[in-house]
A and B are shown apart, each in its own frame.
Chain A
Amino acid sequence: MRILSFIKGYRRDAVLAPLFKLSEAVLELLVPIAVASLIDRGIAGNDPGYIVRMALVMVALGLSGLIVSVTAQYFAARAATGFSEKMRSALFRHISSLSESDRDALGTNTMITRLTNDSNLVQNGINMFLRLFLRSPFVVIGAALMAFAVDPHLSWIFVIVIPVLSVIVAAIMGFTIPLYRKVQAALDKVLSRTRENLQGVRVLRAFGKEEEEVASFAADLASLNDMQIRSGRVSALLNPLTYVVINLAIIAIIYAGRVRYESSLIEIGAIVALVNYMNQILVELVKFANLLVTISRAIASGRRIEAVFSISPSMEDADDAVEAGLDTDEAIVFSGASLTYRDGGEPSLEDVTLTVHKGEKIGIIGGTGSGKTSLVSLIPRFYDVSSGSVSFFGVDVRKWKRGSLRSMIAYVPQKSRLFSGTVRDNLMWGRRNAGEDEMRKALEDADALSFVMERKGALDSPVLAGGKNLSGGQRQRLAIARALVKDAPVLILDDSFSALDYRTEAKVRHAVLSDKDRTVILVSQRTGAMMSMDRVVVMDKGRVVGIGRHDDLLSSCAIYREIYQSQYKGAEAR
């Protein structure tokens, strides 16, 4: 698995942990020898002093075992938690590097479970693996080797038993790992239902859907349960099967031992030692069986994480990506740009050609689903054109370093999303080193200063995740302020005034448009907003159907006229 490379940096721990575990196992394997010689020399030779000496040897073995194994546990814990820290960090980074469409395809819930539940399972698995996975086979094989040393003629029993046990273990893992993956997938669904329920709580309660939700959740749980019980059924076989195999082997040792004893080829102490070794294998396998479930789940989760890593970002900066544009008057140029979101679906944008000049204030208006948002989302390269091209200051956006491109653009999305922290934290998204004055200025321009100042703590007043403790209009104004703090050469407002009343909107719009050098693209439903723009782009069904000043469009563009009339019908006659 590729994710195993995250062990880098913890390699020392990852090697030392099993090594110390092995030494522990070696110490344990010496115990039956001490016992055998205690029987054969101490008891048979009637030598109590020898028995006491052997007992002291056993204590010494136990004590060194303790020291060695505590050390091993420490290294294992360090390696496992260090590994999973690195893996999560890389996974988070990887998810950030994916493009919008990659993330849409993956789904938010999937990404969340991979980062949380699956990562934890992998951490658990690695920890157990380092502690036991190497120790157990070693003890098993070690026991067999010791048995060979005790009596080579009876060791054939070990030679048969070990492969049989391996086959059983492998078969059960083979069955359960795919099942555990299904369990995790079912868990994904449970999570997604929970999140959805929390997010849609108002709509669901408004329609009185609580009981139906509980019912469909119960159905999700039932299928999860079904999967869990099925995987549990198979893994429940492991312990009983190994138990039977080992004990049949013990019977075989005793049976064959009797024959050799009768020919005086073996001593009783040796038979006892062989039985002891077999028992050691059994004890080890019981531990191993418990571990196996953990490991199988970890592997299943590891594969799921790997699946996310294997999605290579559909957008990557080219090696020769540029960090700056040309000194040109043409800020943004769309040439024949088209965009289709889903295969087989209709294009959301078709053959758009448009040049926006530096410092120009462009309005974009059009019906619902006419492609306004699609159009502006091409500029910061949230999506790539399906055909045609978009260039930003003379350079195709696909040739830009995405970070540099986006640092030139302040973008206010339709749904204003704020993050938990303080108002200040949210504004600092615009610019890390923004000063108090700049923040106040931005808040004032977004008409948010007064309500922020009224809040307890003002700039340091808390914002809950998603801005849940603010009204829709307040959220929107903070989102605008956040963009203004950024003070980028290009400002894109995607219908960002929808929750503002006209007075506020007019105020904010004036402030936003006042900077002569800033290129502004403003998407809006309101023709009132369009009057103050240098040029207006009218969209319909993904196409540009009119470009011009407000007055010109009123006479030249039928759709614009209709939009205008729909808003001003009867207004003049007030």
Chain B
Amino acid sequence: MKASEYTGTLRRMLSYIRPYRSYLALSIAAALISVASMLVFPLLAGRAVDAISQWEAGPFFRAVIAMALSAGLTALFQFLQNLSNNRMAYLISRDMRRDLFSKLQRLPLSYIDSHPHGDVSSRMINDVDQVSDGLLMGFTQLFSGVLTILGTLICMLTVSWIVTLVVVVVTPVSLFTASFIARRTYSFFYSQSEAKGRQTSFIDEMVSGASVVAAYSMEGETQRRFDEINHHFSRVSLLAVFYSSLTNPVTRFVNSLVYMGVALSGGLSCVYGLMSVGGLSSILTYASQYAKPFNEISGVMTEFQNAIASASRIFTLLDEREERREEGMPELARPEGSVSFDSVSFSYDKSRTLISGLSLSVRPGMRVAIVGPTGCGKTTLINLLMRFYEPDEGSIRIDGRDISGYTRRSVRRCYGMVLQDTWIKRGSVRENIALSRTDASDDEIRRAARLCHIDNFIAALPSGYDEEISDESDGISEGQRQLISIARIMLSEPDMLILDEATSSIDTRTELLIQDAFARLMEGRTSFIVAHRLSTIRNADLILVMKDGTVIESGTHESLMASGGFYAELYRSQFAG
């Protein structure tokens, strides 16, 4: 990472601290007090030792009482400092996670569709933890460390300037080695974070696809690949851990040189009568205390490198291009229901156009069926209608108004959508149906379930409507999931409908049973239906036959059959057996 990026990351980390300035201030104040009173202690102890050797009772007792007071004071403020540091670090990690999560809500679907979910979650969990650990350690130790070093120098100065001079001369060596190692460590930490992300993605994929792994007896092969990734991670991690752990011994060695310097210069000063033995005792204590913050700061440094590496991964995600801002954009009013495509072109992968120059217009209340071979662009059409993706060229209009001029939310609200790939939210059955209308009453929810003929199944669950279900639940069939998804829109009664193979896993008998309800729902509502089951399309007002991203035929069932084109062929194949 370049230095400018490094400081940029650092600056952004600071901006997360800003709201908790008061904790920071408290922490600094507490650190000041506790460090000051901690530093006085050896001085007092030295005075007590001297009082012993000089047979003085009064000064001795005064020193001892002051020592007790100092110890108590130090402990109290240390505790306060710890508390505010903890709070600050945890609140900051909360804020980061909150920002990441709301960022996810604003990312375009193209990002979410094309990035491994495991890597995104790894940033949310591991990287944020790393940042918060780094901050926590940083604040607890960096600040009080620096204070201790400065304070120690001052206290030493009061005892002997010669000894202090020796210490000051050796100090830069210590700082230099620590920062040298820290810099080297950073790149190891970054690759460790990356390897972690890669491993998480793999784990995510294989653990959620475990049943397929089992079906293909791929446990061995999957394990082999996991071990490969795992081994790589482990090697990268070994480097990061080892290099980062070098700081400690190295600074400790430098500190032992300092300690030796103090003992030597102090000892000689005593011999030549420049200092008392009590003075030497306290200055030796200072020398070892002086060493401690260096060790800690070097520890902080490595944690900090780690934290910066993670923070930059977090900020990279936070900086991803978002969906277009829509502040001040008007809301699309409840539509009449006419929809038109005006020479729309679109591609996911800019090298290959999927839809080009598509134009069509749908009158309010029309039932539009979209048919065609898989991969012909039906799902893409829905992605565009729902504004999950935006057209590269051309425009889509509802009631003659270009939808890109309105908030996405108000456009999406016009439609009730049921997709082939169902999704169940973790929560009760009730919550799942009411996903479309949170304020729905119990009766309304039950009514929607009844319309979809799923109420008997729900009633048979151990806790009925309160049964906890999730996308991973077993014992709920694909068809039942689709019925729950349909119940959602039965409940919300949206102005227009998008049904992408909404009944593909539902048996035709159940489908017949819910058809009345469906018919009533579609009555007067513009609907887009993707289906292969031609029986469900037959009654459409307009059938669009798509192939390779363009509409090749359109018309009613009768007119299309009469013209004897692609559709007629498709329809007849249903009876070929």
Contacts and interface: CB of A to CB of B under 8 A. Distances in A.
A associates with B: yes
Contact of B420 (A271, A343, A472): A472
A70 B249 CA distance: 6
Nearest to A482: B216
B176 interface: no
A120 B415 CA distance: 45
B575 to A, nearest CB: 7
A2 interface: no
Given A225-B90, A502-B570, A70 B246 contact: yes
B82 interface: yes
A333 interface: no
A533 B409 CA distance: 48
A23 interface: no
Given A104-B472, A206-B415, A415-B478, A77 B242 contact: yes
Contacts of B475: 341-342, 345, 348
Contacts of A104: 472-474
Given A43-B270, A51-B264, A262-B55, A406 B214 contact: yes
A237 to B, nearest CB: 6
Interface in B22-58: 38, 41, 45, 48-49, 52-53, 55
B575 A495 contact: no
**Most chain B Cβ neighbours within 10 Å, of A70, A255, A275, A368:** A368
A166 interface: no
Contact of B510 (A290, A367, A506): A367
What does DSSP make chain A's interface, helix, strand, loop or mixed? helix
Interface string B176-212: 0000000000000000000010011101111111111
Interface string A351-373: 00000000000000111111011
A335 interface: no
Given A111-B207, A190-B124, A472-B420, A101 B271 contact: no
Nearest to A409: B215
Given A92-B203, A501-B372, A465 B212 contact: no
Nearest to A250: B45
A24 B249 CA distance: 10
B217 A74 contact: no
**Most chain A Cβ neighbours within 10 Å, of B114, B199, B507, B510:** B507
Contacts of B417: 202-203, 206
B322 to A, nearest CB: 12
Contacts of B570: 501-503
B94 A275 contact: no
A31 B577 CA distance: 92
A232 B52 contact: no
A164 interface: no
A468 B388 CA distance: 14
Given A108-B207, A108-B208, A194-B104, A66 B253 contact: yes
Contacts of B268: 48, 51
B245 to A, nearest CB: 4
Nearest to A57: B260
What does DSSP make chain B's interface, helix, strand, loop or mixed? helix
A486 B216 contact: yes
A42 interface: yes
Contacts of B260: 55, 58-59, 62
Interface string A26-62: 0000010011001100110011100110110011011
A283 B256 CA distance: 14
A567 B277 contact: no
Contact of A258 (B52, B105, B234): B52
B473 A406 contact: no
**Most chain B Cβ neighbours within 10 Å, of A48, A240, A275, A415:** A240
B101 A55 contact: no
B561 A574 contact: yes
A239 interface: yes
**Most chain A Cβ neighbours within 10 Å, of B250, B281, B571:** B281
Given A92-B226, A243-B78, A503-B570, A283 B246 contact: no
A413 B118 CA distance: 23
Nearest to A348: B475
Contacts of B97: 190, 217, 221
B116 to A, nearest CB: 5
A107 B94 CA distance: 24
Nearest to A509: B577
A198 B117 contact: yes
A55 B268 CA distance: 11
Given A55-B263, A78-B238, A225 B91 contact: yes
Contact of A473 (B281, B374, B577): B374
Nearest to A108: B208
A243 B374 contact: no
B111 to A, nearest CB: 10
Contacts of A170: none
Contacts of A206: 386, 412, 415, 417
A153 interface: no
Interface string B404-431: 0000110011010101110101100000
B320 interface: no
Interface string B538-577: 1000000000000000000000010000000111011111
A38 B113 contact: no
7 contacts: A48-B268, A66-B250, A213-B101, A214-B102, A229-B90, A243-B38, A402-B217
For the complex of A and B, 9 pairs with smallest distance between CB atoms: A473-B374, A368-B479, A62-B256, A232-B86, A236-B82, A341-B475, A240-B75, A247-B71, A85-B234
Given A368-B507, A566-B508, 14 more contacts: A55-B263, A78-B242, A96-B213, A193-B101, A200-B471, A232-B87, A254-B48, A268-B49, A268-B278, A290-B299, A346-B460, A471-B375, A527-B508, A559-B509
